[in-house]
Amino acid sequence: KNWPDITAIILLVALIAVCWCYANSMCAVADWNLPTTYDGPYAGRDKSDILVYSAFVRAARDGHFAPFHTKFVPELGAPYGANWNDWPYLEYVPLYLIGVLARVVGIFAALNVALILWHTLAGITFYFVARYHKIDILWSFAAALAFGLASFIFSESPDHPMVALCWHVPLFLVVWRWLSDPSGIKPGSKHFWFGMAVGFLAGLLNPYYFAVFCQIVLLTAAVMLIRTHKLNHLISGLSFITATALGLVLINLNPWLYQIRSGRNQGAVVREFQWVEIYALKALDLFVPPLNHHWETFRNFAQWRAHVAILHDEGSYLGIVGTAALLLLLLSAIRAAINRNSLHLPAAAFQVLWIFLFFTTGGLNAIAAAAGFSYLRAGCRLSIVILAISLLYAADWLTRRRTRPQFSAVAAGVCCVIILFDQVPTPPSLEEKSAITRHITSDEKFVAEIESTFPEGAMVFQIPVMDFPESPLRTESSYDHLRPYLYTRHLRFSFGSMKGRPREQWQHDVEKLSLLDAVAEVKRRGFSALCVSRVGYPDGARELEQNLRLLGYNEEIQSAEGDLFCVRLQ
Position 271 scores a pLDDT of 80
Structure letter (DSSP) for residue 462: E
Quote the CA–CA distance of 473 and 129 in Å, as a whole number: 46
What is the rounded distance in angstroms from the CA atom of residue 463 to the CA atom of residue 534? 9
Dihedral sign for Cα 275, 277, 283, 289, please: negative
Q: Rounded to whole angstroms, how far apart are CA atoms 502 and 62?
A: 27
Q: Give how far the C-alpha of residue 370 lies from the chain's centroid of Cα atoms, to the nearest Å.
A: 25
pLDDT at 570: 86
Contact between 177 and 133 under an 8 Å Cβ cutoff? The reply is: yes
pLDDT at 372: 87
Q: Give dist(CA 446, CA 426) in Å, integer.
A: 32
How far is Cα 326 from Cα 394, in angstroms, rounded to an integer?
A: 8
Query: What are the 10-residue block averages of pLDDT along the chain, 570 residues in total?
Result: 93 98 93 86 57 95 92 94 85 95 97 98 98 96 98 92 96 97 91 97 95 97 92 94 96 90 85 89 95 94 92 92 98 90 84 96 93 89 98 96 84 97 94 91 96 95 91 76 95 94 92 94 95 92 94 93 93
Kindly report the backbone phi and psi dihedral angles of residue 114, in degrees, each rounded to the nearest multiple of 5, phi listed first: -65, -40
Helix (H, G, I), strand (E, B), or coil: what is residue 558?
strand
**Spatial separation of the C-alpha atoms in residues 24 and 32, rounded to whole Å:** 10
Sign of CA dihedral 162, 165, 170, 171: negative
Q: What single letter denotes the amino acid at residue 122?
A: A
pLDDT at 44: 41
The DSSP bridge partners found for residue 140 are none
Q: Distance (Å, rounded) from C-alpha 28 to C-alpha 32?
A: 7
Q: Find out whether 394 and 135 touch, Cβ atoms under 8 Å.
A: no
b/e sequence 385-411, b meaning 16+ C-beta within 10 Å: bbbbbbbbbbbbbbbeeeeeeeebeeb
- Residue 356 in contact with residue 281, Cβ under 8 Å? yes
Closest of 524, 518, 516 to residue 459, by C-alpha: 524
Alpha helices in 229-309 (DSSP H): 231-262, 273-278, 296-308
3-state secondary structure (DSSP) of residue 399: helix
Examine residue 67 and say whether the peptide bond preceding it is cis (omega within 30 degrees of 0).
no
pLDDT at position 49: 85
DSSP state of 46: -
The amino acid occupying position 339 is N
pTM: predicted TM-score of the whole model, two decimal places: 0.94
